[in-house]
Amino acid sequence: MIKTVIFDIDNTLYNFDAAHEAGMEAVCNYVYEQFGWEKEAFTAVYKDVMKELFDELGDIGSAHNRLLRFERILEDRGLPLYPHAMKLYSLYWDTLIEESEISPGAEETMRELKKMEIRVGIGSDMTAWVQYRKLEKLGLLQYCDFVVTSEESNADKPDARFYTMCLKKAKCEPFECIYVGDNYWKDYRGSLDAGIHPLWFVPPHLEEKAAAIGDESARRIGTLSEILTNL
């Protein structure tokens, strides 16, 4: 009997790829206006710095902190931190969150799970404050019984520490949980290895990525409402 359903956030409860693109577009416009930095050149530097921070910090919540990324970019090039680091951080997240659109069926599914007295949890990489902001914008925070971020567990998915914390907060056995997420390796395989029932969420815009992985045996859903038929 399933007692808890745990949801990933990014590219599961909303289309992260589209919202991220909007956030980066706003950031690129800002750095061009302030420093004459062309979009292509800036995005290349941004990706390099992101990799540097993950290499230095490891796969943990703080490595996702955009403020650290913008700080590093400005410091490395002798550009003033004030007011730009904070402005870039706020501009990116404010734009991304504003552009975030809830995945079809997300709210209806969570509402139905609550009616069935099934606990609803969140299990997501990233820092807690930003993920709470997303859930609030999407109107889903009211349905959540608990939230786990990699900032709190000190490990990104698919690390066992992450899923151990999810189970601790779920207050049930692994076989009594379902975990739903879009990332095959982090979400599907990670939760499967933890003994949790995984559902691989593959909406239309992620079909190409899923096809490249090619696991035909994986339990897949194309809409979040399909969770209710997999309990």
* Cα distance between residue 160 and residue 150, in whole Å: 11
Give the pLDDT band (50/70/90) at residue 169. Answer: very high
Percent share of the chain, pLDDT over 70: 100
Is 157 in contact with 186 (CB distance < 8 Å)?
A: yes
Beta bridge partners of 64: none
Give the mean pLDDT of 146-162.
Answer: 97
* Cα distance between residue 95 and residue 26, in whole Å: 7
Per-residue pLDDT of 176-225, as tens digits, reads 999 999 999 999 999 999 999 999 999 998 999 999 998 999 999 999 99
**Cβ-based burial of 55 (10 A; exposed 0-12, middle 13-18, buried ≥19):** exposed
pLDDT for the residue numbered 90: 98
Q: Which two tokens stand for residue 78?
A: 């002798």
pLDDT for the residue numbered 18: 97
Whether the link from the prior residue into 158 is cis, omega within 30° of 0, is: yes
Beta bridge partners of 121: 6, 146
Is 123 in contact with 162 (CB distance < 8 Å)?
A: yes
Name the 3-class secondary structure at 65.
coil
C-alpha closest to that of 42 among 21, 84, 73, 82: 73
Mean pLDDT of the chain: 97
pLDDT for the residue numbered 59: 96
Whether the link from the prior residue into 83 is cis, omega within 30° of 0, is: yes
pLDDT for the residue numbered 129: 97
The count of C-alpha atoms lying within 13 angstroms of the C-alpha of 73, restricted to the half-sphere facing its C-beta, is 26
pLDDT for the residue numbered 82: 98
pTM, two decimal places: 0.96
Is 170 in contact with 147 (CB distance < 8 Å)?
A: no
Q: Which two tokens stand for residue 36?
A: 């004459």
**Cβ-based burial of 212 (10 A; exposed 0-12, middle 13-18, buried ≥19):** exposed
Give the mean pLDDT of 18-37.
Answer: 98
Q: Which residues contact 87 (CB under 8 A, 6 or more apart)?
A: 30
Is 175 in contact with 195 (CB distance < 8 Å)?
A: yes
pLDDT for the residue numbered 33: 98
* Cα distance between residue 77 and residue 170, in whole Å: 45
pLDDT for the residue numbered 42: 98
DSSP string of 145-194?
SEEEEHHHHTS-TT-HHHHHHHHHHHTS-GGGEEEEES-IIIIIIHHHHT
Give the mean pLDDT of 20-48.
Answer: 98
Per-residue pLDDT of 82-131, as tens digits, reads 999 999 999 999 999 999 999 999 999 999 999 999 999 999 999 999 99
Name the 3-class secondary structure at 73.
helix
Give all strands (DSSP E) within 17-76, no chain letters. Answer: none
pLDDT for the residue numbered 151: 97
